[in-house]
Amino acid sequence: MIRSLHGRLIALVGASVLILFAISGIFVCLLIEASLWSEFDSGLRDRVQSLSQLVEQDHEGLIFEWLEGGGVATPIDSNSEVLSVWKDGQVVNHFPTQADKLRLDVDSPRDIVEVQLADAQRGRAALLHFQPRVELEDIKDSGLDEVPSARVTIAFARPTAAIDATIRRLRRLLAIVGIVGLLATLGLTWLAVRLALKPIDEAAEQIAGIHSASLDQRIHESAQQPRELRPLVQTINQLLTRLQSTLDRERAFSADVAHELRTPLAGIRAKLEVALSKKRSVTDHEATMRQCLAITEQTSTMVDSLLKTTQAQHELFHETNDLKEFVIEAVESNCDGVAERDLTVLWDIPEGTALEGPPQTVAMLFRNLMDNAVTYADPGSTINLTVEVSPKLLTVRISNPASYFPAGDIDKVFDRFWRADTSRTDTGKQSGLGLPLCKRLAESLGGTIEASCEAKVFTVLLRFM
């Protein structure tokens, strides 16, 4: 099987042209042959008709004017032609006399028949059945009232060697013309296909030059490109854009992870180096280990968030979830933080409110949102969660007082590793991945998430269609 598109097109066009040339050649050849034979047979009929005018009848029998003299030309033009005359089924004249008599069925209904001449030559003969003319003077001279009519058949045969040779030359000529035409067509097809596929070759060359370090390059689009190629080029460019975006996010993510992990690792190393720099008491060592443990917990929290983000991306199982149950579960999972910071959590959720999606994703979303609210709410304040349901939209609003929050940084809350407290020596449990994780989870559920801070109240707004 031909694997090249270029080769397939040439083979397909070549086969089509070959079939077309063969059918056309056969048709033209048959048409010309039929015309030649028709002209040949027409000449035989005209000749036998003219010869029949040279045959008369009297009371003694048939009279052949070419035998009587009187300036009548010889009935044949060459030694290869043969003339035979039958009367009542019997040969009464044969010319030339040295030639073989024609062997044919004089009663044949056809006026043109195939015959075999001398030296096994192929020939065709024209037959004519007629009654010879009778002169009135002959009737008077005979003393009879009429001359008995006779059934006469005349056959004139001519060899077909010349026309057979012409037909053979015609067939050879048509074959040569067909072969030359086929080769010329294949050559032109090769050139046309090469030119037609040139944009594809150029696009393939451009694609081959794109690698991981040059994903910003795009396949050139121009008005000269074939209309059928443009959707492919546009699709590939869109794919390259998505690949570039994904790779840029991964690179940024890797850089952020490396930068964020460097801080806790540097903290642990510093604590351990100080502890080993001189002899210390057991109490000092315990304090150092507690500090290292706190740093480790911070790092563990960040790694857990990263793992949850990856898990949410691959979760495919969907079902209808009771939203109120997940909110209660989220509040219960943060009860220690609520009690420690003396917070109050209020929610207003209509009964039977449902949210479509994977249960683990829904639980993770509201658990992280509640954890964020509990962590950053002002001590002693109230966290409010309200749900509004309409025929086409489900809206969830979570708000908490946050007097310290820098309102000018509201656009950064969904950036990875960003925290309102930007100190890199913080040994708390927050990693700066909570709200970015919530954004990804909400989008995986087909929703949107926004954040705002007005009058020192931080609000997260979720919308699900």
Contact of 361 with 314, CB cutoff 8 Å:
no
Residue 152: burial class (beta carbons within 10 Å; 0-12, 13-18, 19+) = buried
**Taking residues 187-208, what's their average pLDDT?**
84
Q: What is the pLDDT of residue 424?
A: 36
Q: What is the pLDDT of residue 208?
A: 85
**Taking residues 315-344, what's their average pLDDT?**
83
Query: Average pLDDT, whole number, for the chain?
Result: 81
Q: What is the pLDDT of residue 423?
A: 45
In angstroms, the CA 400 to CA 208 distance is: 54
Instruction: Give the burial string for 311-320 (b: 16+ CB within 10 Å, else e).
Output: ebeeeeeeee
Question: Which amino acid would we find at residue 375?
Answer: T
Asked whether residue 358 carries a pLDDT value surpassing 90, the answer given is no
**Taking residues 249-272, what's their average pLDDT?**
71
Q: What is the pLDDT of residue 263?
A: 64
Low-confidence winner among 107-116, 239-248, 302-311, 432-441 (lowest mean pLDDT): 302-311
Most confident of the ranges 148-162, 254-268, 367-381 = 367-381
CA nearest to 95, candidates 112, 78, 116:
78
Instruction: Give the burial string for 244-283 (b: 16+ CB within 10 Å, else e).
Output: beeeeeeeeeeebbeebeebbeebbeebeeebeeeeeeee
Question: Which amino acid would we find at residue 113?
Answer: V
Instruction: Please name every residue paired with 397 in a beta bridge, in sequence order, or none if there are none.
Output: 386, 461
In angstroms, the CA 210 to CA 199 distance is: 17
Sheet of strand 122-130, all strands in order from the earlier edge strand to the far edge: 90-95, 82-87, 152-159, 122-130, 112-116
Instruction: Please name every residue paired with 93 in a beta bridge, in sequence order, or none if there are none.
Output: 85
CA nearest to 445, candidates 306, 320, 327, 326:
320
In angstroms, the CA 179 to CA 52 distance is: 48
User: Looking at the whole model, is its pTM more than 0.85?
Assistant: no
Give the sign of the dihedral formed by CA 246, CA 247, CA 252, CA 258.
Answer: positive
In angstroms, the CA 216 to CA 244 distance is: 7
Asked whether residue 33 carries a pLDDT value surpassing 60, the answer given is yes
Q: What is the pLDDT of residue 450?
A: 92
In angstroms, the CA 50 to CA 123 distance is: 20
Banded pLDDT at 35 (limits 50, 70, 90): very high
Q: Give how far Cα 228 sits from Cα of 11, 201, 231, 427, Å.
A: 21, 14, 7, 59
Q: What is the pLDDT of residue 385?
A: 94
Instruction: Give the burial string for 91-111 (b: 16+ CB within 10 Å, else e).
Output: ebbbbeeebeebebebeeeee
Most confident of the ranges 223-232, 237-246, 382-391 = 382-391
Give the sign of the dihedral formed by CA 91, CA 97, CA 102, CA 103.
Answer: positive
Q: Is 378 helix (H, G, I), strand (E, B) or coil?
A: coil
Low-confidence winner among 213-217, 278-282, 386-390 (lowest mean pLDDT): 213-217
Contact of 147 with 58, CB cutoff 8 Å:
yes
Banded pLDDT at 74 (limits 50, 70, 90): low
In angstroms, the CA 375 to CA 15 distance is: 77
Per-residue tokens: 163: 């026309």
Helix (H) or strand (E) holding 396: strand 394-401
Most confident of the ranges 146-160, 234-248, 365-379 = 365-379
